[in-house]
Amino acid sequence: MTEPVGPVDASVHPRYAGLATFARLPRIEDVPRAEIAVVGIPFDAGVSYRPGARFGPSHVREASRLLRPYNPAQDVSPFAAAQVVDAGDIPANPFNIDEAVTTIEDAATELGERVERIVTIGGDHTIALPLLRTVAKKHGPVAVLHFDAHLDTWDTYFGAPVTHGTPFRRASEEGLIDLTASCHVGIHGPLYSKQDLEDDARLGFSIVTSEFVDEQGMDAAIRRIRDRIGDRPLYISIDIDVLDPAHAPGTGTPEAGGLTSRELLRMLRSLADKNLVGADVVEVSPPYDHAQLTAVAASHVVYELVTLLAARIERDRDTTETS
């Protein structure tokens, strides 16, 4: 196997120069093979409040210039463990949600035939539905670990069944998720009524709220998450508004009382032994992002997800070679 092509060397080429691929990785067309692809979906026609997430992928890529090749928290060099590439953006019709969802599903399915795993930068949370459809084609119903301020299991907005507030209801109804192993994390802020929680439980989710993390501590929260998802194929979907606005102001529907970026990163690192099959990070809205606070947080979240995937691919490869 040829050695993976890594990021541009920052000691030779300044970080602020050159193409703004994620972490300055090679583009997918510039390498003979790829195992993990970071792809953008600049789509935000499904938002109900602030727009701007269509500019999220480029904003997160710009902030990712400062990332480095070794992840000491996980003791992994992800870009050496697997061939990671930037696959560019999936363009989608900004005026027709149904057409956009179909386009995203088709493009993600095609990309999934070229690489083992995909990490997506959104875009609004509408994109989670076509991405889950794509993952379910490979793995069947998956455990969904959903980090968010909001449940995103509402039925409709203005009569529209597919928006950024409905993807996990539709996914549950379509049989895309494992109803015994899925979990929301970091939920905080007001709801429309108590019925929201009752509907959510029926749709297959348990909840670890921000209040639970605050009152019971990180270890208890991590235990509850790990026990819930078990050893099922796992898809992680992260709305950046799971973070408190102090850490991520640049998002469409901010809610006070969220997680810190340190808490979110620690939760992700606790999943190193899980069977992660895909992930997305969504709802970064640059017009509201002072000093790249949100983009920096999001770029580090994507980096941790890539590290988890790369480490898993390396372990699987080593197991195959020694068996």
Q: Where are the domains of the chain?
A: 22-322
pLDDT (0 to 100) of residue 65: 97
* pLDDT beneath 50, residues of the chain: none
- Which pLDDT score, from 0 to 100, does residue 284 have? 98
Per-residue model confidence (pLDDT) at position 317: 87
For residue 279, the 8-state DSSP code is E
φ and ψ of 50, to 5 deg: -75, 130
Identify each DSSP E strand in 60-192 by its residue range: 84-89, 117-122, 143-147, 182-187
What is the per-residue pLDDT for 1? 61
pTM above 0.95, yes or no: yes
> What is the pLDDT at residue 323?
64
Please give the class, per CATH, of domain 22-322. Answer: alpha beta
| E strand segments, 164-242 | 182-187, 205-209, 234-239
Q: How far apart are CA 92 and CA 233, in angstroms?
A: 28
pLDDT score, position 109: 98
Instruction: Report d(CA 308, CA 189) in Å as an integer.
Output: 30
Return the closest-CA partner of residue 155 out of 123, 192, 183, 184.
Answer: 192
Q: How buried is residue 264: exposed, middle or buried, by Cβ count under 10 Å (0-12/13-18/19+)?
A: buried
Look at residues 96, 79, 78 and name the one whose alpha carbon lies nearest to residue 26: 79
